[in-house]
Amino acid sequence: MKPDLEIDFDRPGPDYHRKAVKGRRELLARAVGAQQGARKILDLSAGLAQDAVFLCQMGFTVTAVERHPVIAGLLTSALQRTRRPELRERLTIREGDARDVLREPDCARDFDAAYFDPMYPLKKKSALPRKEMLLFRELVGDDADAAEVVRLALRLGPPRLAVKRPLKAPPLLEGVKHSFEGTTVRYDIYVRS
Ligand SMILES: C[S@@+](CC[C@H](N)C(=O)[O-])C[C@H]1O[C@@H](n2cnc3c(N)ncnc32)[C@H](O)[C@@H]1O
């Protein structure tokens, strides 16, 4: 029997209550440009919004875009139900394709940075993800158009783009200015010319 996919930002546990032990020196905060003064972030791939919630927790204002209607609906309802003030005040969920948001005339001005975390293929050797994660993957698929989103973000989006990749995976697109490396993931930083 398939488990139901549930999104509850208030549920205790690590998914939505990550410890920001280093504050704005957390890798994700540095990747979106905390040290350069970034405050408003456009998340081009909301997914389960774990990163978006973490960013709000660290004080950023986040608009998170999700194109899968079921996931976007679950996120919207989780946001309506949450009692967490930092999410009620600083998180916006938008259903749709991030490319359409990037094409909006004020997009480059409205945000300090964009963040993109497309799906990547499962490694054969990796630990089996939780059933919820498998169901999520089955729903949203592989984001085969990810490089195109990066290309468009560099043409039309905010001045900075951080792309999350598995540590050893090649960049989605050439032109990475620098990277922040964690133990399993890497954030490739692009700066719009
Ligand atoms: C790996 S998940 C993101 C996980 C997310 N960072 C988190 O912390 O939960 C990728 C998500 O991005 C969405 N996505 C990929 N490309 C998109 C696009 N062009 N527009 C909107 N959503 C997109 C997929 O539907 C999927 O839900």
Query: Which pLDDT tens digit goes with each residue over 139-183?
Result: 888 888 999 999 999 999 999 999 999 999 999 999 999 999 999
pLDDT tens digits for range 15-35: 899 998 888 899 999 999 999
Would you state the pLDDT for residue 140?
83
Distance 66 CA to ligand 1 centre (A): 6
Pocket of ligand 1 (CB under 6 A): 44-45, 47-51, 65-68, 71, 97-99, 117-119, 140, 143, 149
What structural domains and CATH numbers belong to the chain?
23-191 (3.40.50.150)
Which distant-in-sequence residues (6+ apart) come within 8 Å of 138 by Cβ?
none
Would you state the pLDDT for residue 1?
40
Distance CA 172, CA 162 (A): 11
Distance 37 CA to ligand 1 centre (A): 25
In one-letter notation, the amino acid at residue 167 is L
Greatest Cα-to-Cα distance within the chain, rounded to the nearest angstrom: 50
Question: How much is the pTM?
Answer: 0.94
Token pair in block for residue 67: 């194109």
Residue among 132, 149, 130 at smallest CA distance from 48: 132
Which distant-in-sequence residues (6+ apart) come within 8 Å of 140 by Cβ?
47, 68, 71, 119
Distance 53 CA to ligand 1 centre (A): 14
Q: Which residues of 36-66 are buried (b: 16+ CB within 10 A; e: fewer)?
A: eebeebbbbbbbbbbbbbbbbbbebbbbbbb
